[in-house]
Structure 1
Amino acid sequence: MRHMNNNIIYLGWVSFFTDFASSMVTTLVPLYVVYILNEGVDKLGIIIAAASFISYFFRILFGYLSDRFTLVKPLVVSGYLISALTKPMLALTQGYIGVAIIRGVERAGKAVRSAPKDALISAYSETNYSGKTFGFHKTMDIAGELGGAICIFLILTWFTLDKDSIRLIFAATLIPGLIASAIALFLVKDIPTSIQAKNEKRKAVINQQDMRLLPLIIIYFTSLFFILSNQFLIIKVKQAGYSFSIIPLFIIILTLSQTLFSYYSGVITDKIGNHKMLLIAFVFGTLSLLALWQEYLWLCFILLGMFTVMSLNAIRAYISQYAISKAFVYGIFYGGIALTSSLGAIIVGQLWKQFGFETVILFSLSGMIILLLVLAVWI
């Protein structure tokens, strides 16, 4: 590809195979926990919370370690290898605690590799083509997610979902995981020495002016507390009467929605501003919950995809444009996501278990409407 370093292409394939395996796992884990292991939705909430917290919170630590000790490729390879080796271990679990531990360790692999991987992509991006580079990488991510969901759909079309079959699928994720790790180890090159030396001279700075960005960032965090994870939605789809074989199609719809609206939401954000785009995203998030309440489930997944990419693009653009100490602000960003999304998952799981789905919807919908009004008044 023109203006595309081979390192970027190799990393794209690493992401493709990793996300292929990850999509297989995230589609099946809710069904496995609730319908195969016969654990409650509250236990699923604990698993989602553990995975979310570890995935985001520890990115701060490993991002710092990568910068401080100029560790890039070793952390990237280690992170992918951790994920590749732990996903298949889900086949050995007998209860929700085992699933939570393994999902936590697997997401730790994500935390280990995320910041160094971004640094590696940036290092090999040509000056005027960084957008194209990251766009290619995101495309490979999405292609992997779609591939994994389609694979599960085809498997469940032909085979019955039971304890043995689902554990065999978990074990099979070792194959794409090891392919990804091998590409990262043998084909991907480390950051050039000249760039490493330049990075060693940088010092972490906390600028007090960045505190003015916190109100909007906190509003975004709070939306993650109220919005429902797609893993909870999978359970709702099953309760609505859809067969196991159809459920992966909802994940495919969600991924396609994110793909179609991600680029255009970024373009519109540049024109109307971050605050207004976040407001529009909150409208779609609220509508997704209304659609869920009325059991328009296909529409719910489409709207959730729109909310996800629009809100994330808006808040990332906000930080990129206005943050002075970007590392400090991104640290708050990842830490906040870890806390709010994990706490929200636990509360939703408990509410669903103790009081039923209607209570969950009222809780989430009320919270999103309040946030929508607050943001509308602010603008």
Structure 2
Amino acid sequence: MTPRPSLPKSVVKLGWISFFTDVASEMIYPVVPLFLTAALGAPVVVLGAMEGVAEAIVSVMKGLSGWHCDRMGRRVPYIRWGYGLGAASKPLMALAFAWPMVFLARAVDRLGKGLRTTARDALIADAVDASQGGRAYGFHRMMDTSGAIVGVLMALALLALLPGRYRLIFLVAALPGAAAVLLTFKIREAATVKTAADACPGTIPQAAPGSRPWSGLPAAYWKTLGLLMVFAFANSSDTLLILRAKNLGLSDVQSILGYTLFNVVYAASAYPLGILSDRFGRWRMVITGWTLYAAVYFGFALADMSAVWWLFPLYGLFMGLTEGVGRALIRDKIPDEKKGTAMGIFHMCIGFTMLAGSVTAGILWDVVGPGAPFVLGGGVALTAAALAMFLRPRATRGGHACG
């Protein structure tokens, strides 16, 4: 048996960059609400408004940066600026003397995420062919989530060692963020980036001069995106899982440990399941993952406190089945000259749909009860899985090769 080629160095470096960035991000994620309310006296409504604005910034910037990096024919500057802004937001939070400055720092961080995410995913798409798509994105998800695990554990340790020293924790978090920025200077553009003039004639509908950025994307891309958006409405914020765990009787520490357990399973499963998707087909993995998601959400709606300890790991397995594989699925449908644009549209549409789903889930929690958003999520996930079984685009071999 011929051994599989190793992943390109750029993909491995991007994995380590995401690892250090997530260490920094997750170190401050549980600290920011405490800093806002306890140290700066911000009302709780500020938290919800800040996260809503932050996600809107991310979604819009993912779309714009993808289109623009295609026009420029370059990915790396967006990656460097994106990770740089994310790192700069940590000391900016440490300097905050009022909650609007934290709001600004959070906006800077999300602006950076919006700049880098699409360009990074497009660079991965440039660096690998369709036969390695699942493996590449699975590796990246593994590294990203591993960083999140380390960051959460470091946050717990720092909160125990430095109670109330929120500004010092933000400064410590800047160190892994700076390491990520330094690594971006070792990234180079992939040799396979193509413009419209380089594309294979006759294989992909080409956009006419002056047409809209999304012109020329194939029907299979839009059908795949549509199915992913149906599920995205079910996929509400993970914070609801933590709140539900607390609602069922777990302590703050137990709830965070459950969330950490989910991340451990996600990190361990993303890479091998991404490799399997290259061999056995992406839609099989995604439909299985969506069905598992429905079971987990129905479980959170109906379960007692003890069930949380096996629901969180199953949720991590769902993420391993779908998160990296879903990006590879989109990558398979992208014309070479529109990878950034197509990835940007994907991230923007999924981001806004998830935001709508999260708002709906929050309203249901308050108006109907804590189990209601999980019943809705499970039902929509089953609907998405059923639609995908009948409407998914047929697989093509070798991506968009000429001839």
Q: Same fold (TM over 0.5)?
A: yes
Match of residue 86 from structure 1 = 89
Q: Which amino acid aligns with 1:280?
A: T
Match status 1:365 vs 2:363? no
Match status 1:302 vs 2:313? yes
Kept in 1: contact 2:133–2:331 (CA 8 A):
no
Match of residue 108 from structure 1 = 111
Q: Which moved more, 1:288-297 or 1:148-157?
A: 288-297
The partner residue of 2:350 within 325, 331, 337 is: 337
Does the C-alpha gap of structure 1 residues 312 and 157 become closer, same or farther in structure 2, counting only changes over 3 Å? same
Kept in 1: contact 2:229–2:350 (CA 8 A):
no
Q: Deviations over 1:274-297 (max 9, x none)?
A: 563254233234235326775744
Structure 1, unmatched stretches of 5+, are none
Q: Deviations over 1:89-134 (max 9, x none)?
A: 2234466654443222202111111232234445555997666554
Match of residue 67 from structure 1 = 70
The partner residue of 1:21 within 19, 24, 27 is: 24
Q: Deviations over 1:291-348 (max 9, x none)?
A: 6775744344334323334343564455445667876654443222221222344455
Q: Deviations over 1:136-192 (max 9, x none)?
A: 4433323322221221222234343x3xx223212222111112112213xx14226
Match status 1:374 vs 2:387? no
The aligned runs of 1:286-301 (5 Å cut-off) are 286-290=297-301, 294=305, 296-301=307-312
TM-score by length of 2: 0.74
The partner residue of 2:218 within 175, 199, 207 is: 207
Equivalent-residue separation in structure 2 for 1:271 and 1:61 (angstroms)? 27
The partner residue of 2:188 within 187, 190, 199 is: 190
Equivalent-residue separation in structure 2 for 1:330 and 1:218 (angstroms)? 14
Match of residue 120 from structure 2 = 117
Match status 1:172 vs 2:175? no
* Shift in Å, 1:59: 1.2
Equivalent-residue separation in structure 2 for 1:68 and 1:111 (angstroms)? 17
TM-score by length of 1: 0.77
Kept in 2: contact 1:120–1:191 (CA 8 A):
yes
SS across alignment from 1:27: coil
Does the C-alpha gap of structure 1 residues 34 and 62 become closer, same or farther in structure 2, counting only changes over 3 Å? same
Match status 1:257 vs 2:270? no
SS across alignment from 1:82: helix
Match status 1:155 vs 2:158? yes
Q: Which amino acid aligns with 1:191?
A: E
Q: Deviations over 1:194-216 (max 9, x none)?
A: 54566764565133465444552
Q: Deviations over 1:4-49 (max 9, x none)?
A: 5554444333222111101112233344456665656654333332
The aligned runs of 1:278-289 (5 Å cut-off) are 278-289=289-300
Does the C-alpha gap of structure 1 residues 71 and 319 become closer, same or farther in structure 2, counting only changes over 3 Å? closer
Does the C-alpha gap of structure 1 residues 373 and 18 become closer, same or farther in structure 2, counting only changes over 3 Å? closer
Equivalent-residue separation in structure 1 for 2:251 and 2:305 (angstroms)? 19
Kept in 2: contact 1:274–1:317 (CA 8 A):
no
The aligned runs of 1:122-137 (5 Å cut-off) are 122-123=125-126, 133-137=136-140
Kept in 1: contact 2:282–2:325 (CA 8 A):
no
SS across alignment from 2:294: helix
* Shift in Å, 1:83: 0.3
Kept in 2: contact 1:52–1:341 (CA 8 A):
no
Kept in 2: contact 1:60–1:331 (CA 8 A):
yes
Kept in 1: contact 2:297–2:377 (CA 8 A):
yes
Kept in 2: contact 1:285–1:303 (CA 8 A):
yes
Q: Which amino acid aligns with 2:182?
A: A
Equivalent-residue separation in structure 1 for 2:349 and 2:332 (angstroms)? 19
Q: Which amino acid aligns with 2:257?
A: L
SS across alignment from 1:280: helix
Equivalent-residue separation in structure 2 for 1:122 and 1:331 (angstroms)? 13
Paired positions, count: 365
Structure 2, unmatched stretches of 5+, are 200-205, 208-215, 390-403
Q: Which amino acid aligns with 1:306?
A: L
Q: Which amino acid aligns with 2:72?
A: F
Equivalent-residue separation in structure 1 for 2:7 and 2:188 (angstroms)? 16
* Shift in Å, 1:57: 3.0
CA RMSD, 1 decimal: 3.8
Kept in 2: contact 1:261–1:310 (CA 8 A):
yes
Q: Which amino acid aligns with 1:219?
A: V
Match of residue 211 from structure 2 = none
Does the C-alpha gap of structure 1 residues 34 and 280 become closer, same or farther in structure 2, counting only changes over 3 Å? farther
